[in-house]
Structure 1
């Protein structure tokens, strides 16, 4: 959309007005790098997409233009706490701002409506869910909206980690109000940016500003898990009295870790989505106003955190993706002061994140991309050089490295030339058709003659036993680093089978070398007792896929998942991998009715497609009569036109074949009673041979 002519015709006065408001209202002498040109583009009425680092001053880029442009600016924001904080700060600065949220008191809501009606309100904050109301759209149409600002615009991405369905209504709102739209986010890869443009701007390219992702005031550090509670307590203990956030993967862990921190002398509170709304608001308020408070939270404590002086962020568990990691650490040091981060990671974290991707409902190409994003985070965790350089490279930004602000620059890791080990691993994957996960490939490399290795003849491969110099744990560390370099990825359509990416080919061909970290490999030499799991690492991706299918069927039928099949049945499917309806019938917990209802669906998950089976034959599945039926059917096909192939076509019905298979007559008379004289004459000798053979 072209900008407003009245504002676009003279850019110098606009710049002067922007700087005057910056100084007089917001109290700053100068814009941060990149802010000024975004402010002017938004104030001119251009459609704008701005990707700015967390803490880079996004809110000012729509708050200040709202004071330059006539009329009302609507701000769509995802969290109530964030809206309330921004409204409070704007009012303190003398700006007429309000929010319509479910947390408002009746008096607050009345005051906002009064300001809307008398035209004094300059900024109105709304949650995206409010856009579902037709009354809200009518109200905005009557209020004279001149600008729509969208905070956390990546929430429009249907496959992103923060998707909010009501964000999909914003494009229609823009068209209905015929107002310019400015969208802001702190993290959006190229794919998400395309989705934002398509959904918010109808595919018309907005003025796009991609600002640097570097946050030089954040110190980056990763550690493998080694008594993670002790590690978190030590990290927090060294920063006692400083406000911080600890992110956990489960609600239960937030409670237990918050308790441990309190017992260690810290002021600490848990926060997660299972808490009552009033309790969550209390924690948000206390964190915003108290000094030195630690919040131990799931990612539910997310985008609404606007506290500028958070001095540290720790992850007790590996985040979901590199984008989630960047957003979550970005909540520290928004005031520009030094802040520290620590992320713990372990093999169980990685398995959990892989299974969450595999059990998701995203299409295969999106799940493959999500595995790539997780690989990128593993690459950051296992990096051999400056972490900042590695992180910024992912976002397409160059950095010379040697930042002095990460643990690897503080103390470079012990590395070695891992080219030979990686080539062995890649060779094992290729020689087995890229059809197996790391567990089976490690058995081949270490010469472990499992039943699975022998059954597939993999003990005869040239790569069998060539990696005996490393233990199973050390090979797991090698594969983890290979995934971190995105040399191999799990295939969600083939239950975690590793396939080789283009990045691996130069190494395999001897055109490139690769450096690995020796410290993480040596640490794996002594294997701790493995955590008990339902299935082996090799079968875990298939179990995840079976659970995803079960959940989809349960949701469609509106029944608990165990009503479809219990976990024990799915575990047996994952381990035995039935490929036919007969094999499926042999799985414990698969009765005739469930076989009929769900057999094909689960066979498709296991084998890629279900065999076409006549309903009559399906009733014989798993019984000896089923095998007899198949042999009778094959003999009938050979004799359909007689022994010489010249007779008139003749066949038995499926029910006739089933009766023969079940009753097993042993002479021509018995067969004739079931089939009739004509069919008994054509097929009798061949059928009796099958029946008498058992």
Structure 2
């Protein structure tokens, strides 16, 4: 489908007839018009905000083929499947293909038979690929996940650095760079490294109001997670992030023993197993992937209902990017995180041992401090999260744990002075566990050997449990009153910030430790069905539509959401179309899908009316 002189009206017609949407959202129209005119654009839009339409529609509207740079080969297949389901000519060229398939695709490209071609940055920069593109008509270059170009960001990929040559080699072809997460510094680096400093910049609101953020420090994170899943997400798909490969495998195994279907994903697994697990997650309902951060970039699955972190991410960008994989369809979803003292110590240790230069280390430490600040916050998390990206939310969101259940704080000044004094009296040579033993007056061979049972701080903290002391130490480290000596096997050290507290010149109010497993008292019970706005008497129809969708997707060999996503099924239930003309008004039902699936879904709706 290639046309020449296109207007905004034509772009809207493409949106309505091919994609089945009534109108553009937010800044989409302006971005699409900019690219159709042949101008460059830098787009920051949250996950689920409709970034892909910003380059797909101009690829169809402008003469030639849209070239889309995508970072992960594994995800190109699903992106291409989704476009082919709309009867569009989409393809990819990557190392998973044999020579004949590559040659066929290249010839189709030369013949002008491809609307959109997906390539990895490494492939695009090969001399053979560039000389092939020299002989083609190119509609645009779209650089997806553009934050990968930033050395200050969270997913730096050196291959992206070479993409600056596109502006020199193809000066008349418009380029659009897109990302969901970038602070001000990262944005500037994207623009500079991709030669987009004069491009039109579009920054949408980063708010994802459908996601409920909750961060806690349960005594037993695994049990707390299971309670959270049982309460909110029975039989629903989600992602669980862990810091290490070992923890990924142990957590997946444990979840399977609890009756959940959980698949591990990390860089140490054989490539075939990783691909198999990712494909199952995309194409089956209700699966959980337990993964390191190696998983998730570009995941298009719209019905991920939850993202769990069992460790603290290294930065707010990473946290926002990872939690943003939940609820891409706009339906209610959860971002739930459990973290503890060891996370803080481990991340500080990793950063201290990093080979990065001092400037980079300072920046990474600053990012970690900001992430710790978000975790320890007692006010609205969404306001803080948006503020980090230069966005503003005037009123508290009412949909995060702190808004729904304002945390209790306590005057921790005296307890903090005891903790800091004990660190000082024991010589700043021991880890938290040992210092807590001294505070609680626990006699042991080590304590006796070092003579700390005779110190003035021995036993002065018996009024608190070990968990309460560890909670206090975590917050003191998070606030920078204590540092962790990496080379001293995790010893805690006083910082300059501790001095005014020790001297009684400064008071300290901290979060109370929530006793029990997983904040049960603060739990928000949600209906266990996938979507909240389906009436009970429509449940049989909802189940029947999902069953039909599964049958059709199995036959086509594509994920269920490529047939129709959950939001489209909900709209069908709301409208209950009686014929094809009414079915055409359902959001997400374009012309091709109407012809392909309309009758089957109408039959099911009639049966249940």
TM-score normalised by structure 1 residue count: 0.63
Choose from 166, 169, 172 the match for 1:176.
169
**For 2:465 and 2:189, how far apart are their aligned partners in 1?**
45
**For 1:262 and 1:493, how far apart are their aligned partners in 2?**
38
Instruction: Tell me if structure 2 keeps the 8 A contact 1:438–1:498.
Output: no
**For 2:236 and 2:270, how far apart are their aligned partners in 1?**
27
Structure 1 residue ranges (4+ consecutive) displaced by more than 3 angstroms after TM superposition? 105-108, 417-429, 435-440, 445-448, 463-501, 504-515, 520-523
**For 1:352 and 1:379, how far apart are their aligned partners in 2?**
17
**Partner in structure 2 of residue 267 of structure 1:** 261
Matched, 1:154 2:147: yes
TM-aligned CA deviation for residue 144 of structure 1: 2.6
**For 1:464 and 1:116, how far apart are their aligned partners in 2?**
76
Residues 207 and 466 of structure 1: CA distance in aligned 2, closer, same or farther (over 3 Å): farther
**For 1:395 and 1:81, how far apart are their aligned partners in 2?**
29
TM-aligned CA deviation for residue 256 of structure 1: 2.3
Matches within 5 A, 1:266-285: 266-285=260-279
Instruction: Tell me if structure 2 keeps the 8 A contact 1:51–1:209.
Output: yes
Matched, 1:408 2:424: no
Instruction: Tell me if structure 1 keeps the 8 A contact 2:93–2:119.
Output: yes
**For 1:225 and 1:422, how far apart are their aligned partners in 2?**
21
**Partner in structure 1 of residue 8 of structure 2:** 15
Unaligned runs of 5+ in 1: 1-5, 8-12, 524-694
Matched, 1:47 2:40: yes
TM-aligned CA deviation for residue 272 of structure 1: 1.4
- RMSD of the alignment, in Å? 4.0
**Partner in structure 2 of residue 582 of structure 1:** none
Matched, 1:67 2:60: yes
Once the two structures are superposed, residues 44-98 of structure 1 have per-residue CA deviations (whole angstroms, 9 ceiling, x without a partner) of 2222111111111111111111112222221111112322111111122122221
**Partner in structure 2 of residue 297 of structure 1:** 291
Once the two structures are superposed, residues 303-351 of structure 1 have per-residue CA deviations (whole angstroms, 9 ceiling, x without a partner) of 0321001111111222222211111111111011111121110111121
**Partner in structure 1 of residue 382 of structure 2:** 388
**For 2:13 and 2:477, how far apart are their aligned partners in 1?**
51
Instruction: Tell me if structure 1 keeps the 8 A contact 2:44–2:202.
Output: yes
**Partner in structure 2 of residue 250 of structure 1:** 244
**Partner in structure 2 of residue 212 of structure 1:** 205
TM-aligned CA deviation for residue 260 of structure 1: 2.0
Matched, 1:124 2:117: yes
Unaligned runs of 5+ in 2: 442-446, 518-609
Whose RCO is larger (CA < 8 A, sep 6+)? 2
Choose from 328, 347, 352 the match for 1:334.
328
Matched, 1:34 2:30: no
Choose from 339, 342, 359 the match for 1:345.
339
TM-aligned CA deviation for residue 289 of structure 1: 1.3
**Partner in structure 1 of residue 128 of structure 2:** 135
**Partner in structure 2 of residue 144 of structure 1:** 137
Matched, 1:198 2:192: yes
Instruction: Tell me if structure 1 keeps the 8 A contact 2:143–2:177.
Output: yes
Instruction: Tell me if structure 2 keeps the 8 A contact 1:255–1:270.
Output: yes
Instruction: Tell me if structure 2 keeps the 8 A contact 1:81–1:305.
Output: no
**For 1:200 and 1:511, how far apart are their aligned partners in 2?**
51
Residues 438 and 252 of structure 1: CA distance in aligned 2, closer, same or farther (over 3 Å): closer
Residues 489 and 186 of structure 1: CA distance in aligned 2, closer, same or farther (over 3 Å): farther
TM-aligned CA deviation for residue 446 of structure 1: 7.7
Residues 464 and 258 of structure 1: CA distance in aligned 2, closer, same or farther (over 3 Å): closer
**For 1:130 and 1:492, how far apart are their aligned partners in 2?**
41
TM-aligned CA deviation for residue 385 of structure 1: 1.9
TM-aligned CA deviation for residue 115 of structure 1: 1.4
Residues 96 and 497 of structure 1: CA distance in aligned 2, closer, same or farther (over 3 Å): farther
SS in 2 for 1:240: coil
Instruction: Choose 1 or 2 for highest CA Rg.
Output: 1
**Partner in structure 2 of residue 224 of structure 1:** 217
Matched, 1:377 2:371: yes
Residues 104 and 160 of structure 1: CA distance in aligned 2, closer, same or farther (over 3 Å): same
TM-aligned CA deviation for residue 288 of structure 1: 1.4
**For 1:128 and 1:29, how far apart are their aligned partners in 2?**
34
SS in 1 for 2:22: coil
**Partner in structure 2 of residue 320 of structure 1:** 314
**For 2:305 and 2:76, how far apart are their aligned partners in 1?**
22
TM-aligned CA deviation for residue 291 of structure 1: 0.9
Equivalent residues, number: 501
**Partner in structure 1 of residue 356 of structure 2:** 362
**Partner in structure 1 of residue 183 of structure 2:** 189
Instruction: Tell me if structure 1 keeps the 8 A contact 2:251–2:290.
Output: yes
Instruction: Tell me if structure 1 keeps the 8 A contact 2:44–2:181.
Output: yes
Instruction: Tell me if structure 1 keeps the 8 A contact 2:345–2:484.
Output: no
Instruction: Tell me if structure 2 keeps the 8 A contact 1:474–1:522.
Output: no
TM-aligned CA deviation for residue 153 of structure 1: 0.7
Residues 102 and 438 of structure 1: CA distance in aligned 2, closer, same or farther (over 3 Å): same
Instruction: Tell me if structure 2 keeps the 8 A contact 1:413–1:519.
Output: no
Instruction: Tell me if structure 2 keeps the 8 A contact 1:244–1:293.
Output: yes
Residues 421 and 80 of structure 1: CA distance in aligned 2, closer, same or farther (over 3 Å): same
SS in 2 for 1:220: strand
TM-aligned CA deviation for residue 521 of structure 1: 11
TM-aligned CA deviation for residue 226 of structure 1: 2.2
**For 1:123 and 1:469, how far apart are their aligned partners in 2?**
66
**For 2:312 and 2:225, how far apart are their aligned partners in 1?**
13
**For 2:223 and 2:473, how far apart are their aligned partners in 1?**
28
Instruction: Tell me if structure 1 keeps the 8 A contact 2:344–2:478.
Output: no
**For 1:218 and 1:94, how far apart are their aligned partners in 2?**
32
Matched, 1:516 2:510: yes
TM-score normalised by structure 2 residue count: 0.72
**For 2:363 and 2:486, how far apart are their aligned partners in 1?**
10
**For 2:366 and 2:462, how far apart are their aligned partners in 1?**
29
SS in 2 for 1:254: helix
Instruction: Tell me if structure 1 keeps the 8 A contact 2:422–2:439.
Output: no
